[in-house]
A = this chain, B = another copy of it.
């Protein structure tokens, strides 16, 4: 990523699609992923290797990873909840696997039905498995600290716990850690503070990515705060797919189009063609006509005479 400043990691096909009732067909998923990669998106989380009984929307994860791997210049990410999922994701060919560990143990038990120790044990097993894989086939392994900014069940979570779990994941063999504001509780000061604290513990180079939600409208402000703290990978979802239906305006993940518009207008290179990206939104909307697609930039369009780096006005 020498030629870009920020890597946008599209999570819509995973975090978005797993949150809506409609099951998108495998062919439509492939078209979406291909079109977004063609618009310049270089990393896409394409699916989750969870039991199809739990998330039928993700039943075709293996096939989708295999397809995505045929697209040039695309890092294919898969979410895995455990060792079994990781093995499958690696067999499918994922470039990167991402395992969430909920800092709120209550949430961990409710969501993954596992205690912290049980999740850490899965991480250990995955690391050992990866260690035996040949160099070129070896996937990156990210441990993701979810509910790191607060939990809908526990309320605030201890930042000491965030740091400690982050350190443990690195010790057990993760290549990097990421922070997730799963609940949309974070604010810019908290984001900056936690990034600094965790970097101090795990090393600057091992915390590069943030997964932010827009539940209380602070998603882009938190993304800006993350960028100001040196974060270079930001997760987002095209059309804010997966946003909570009771809160119009994309209360789930931050909206990819709005995030790209903000960075692009600031003159921050993402490698993405914003106009092309907006055509992908239309395509995806046509695949799921009964689901809401959000986005301020999509609704209002680009500014008149818009160009990248708009921030520096001509005299």
A residues near B, CB below 8 A? 150-160, 162, 183-185, 187-190, 193-194, 214-218, 220-221, 223-225, 244, 246-251, 255, 258, 261-262, 265-267, 294-297, 299-300, 303-306, 310-315
Contact = CB atoms under 8 A, between A and B. Distances in A.
A167 B113 CA distance: 63
Given A155-B304, A183-B303, A248-B248, A190 B313 contact: yes
B150 A304 contact: yes
Main secondary structure of the interface of A (DSSP, over half): loop
Nearest to A315: B160
A159 to B, nearest CB: 4
Nearest to A151: B304
A218 B194 CA distance: 23
A30 B52 CA distance: 57
Given A189-B312, A216-B258, 5 more contacts: A150-B303, A156-B314, A185-B303, A187-B265, A220-B220
Contact of A216 (B160, B183, B217, B261): B261
8 contacts: A150-B305, A156-B310, A188-B311, A189-B265, A189-B266, A216-B258, A216-B300, A220-B220
A156 B302 CA distance: 12
A184 B189 CA distance: 24
Contact of A313 (B156, B296, B299): B156
Contact of A224 (B155, B225, B246, B247): B225
A63 to B, nearest CB: 34
B246 A249 contact: no
A93 B95 CA distance: 67
Most buried by B among A313, A314, A315: A313
A211 to B, nearest CB: 17
A304 B153 contact: yes
Contact of A217 (B157, B258, B266): B258
Contacts of A246: 299
Contacts of A189: 265-267, 311-312
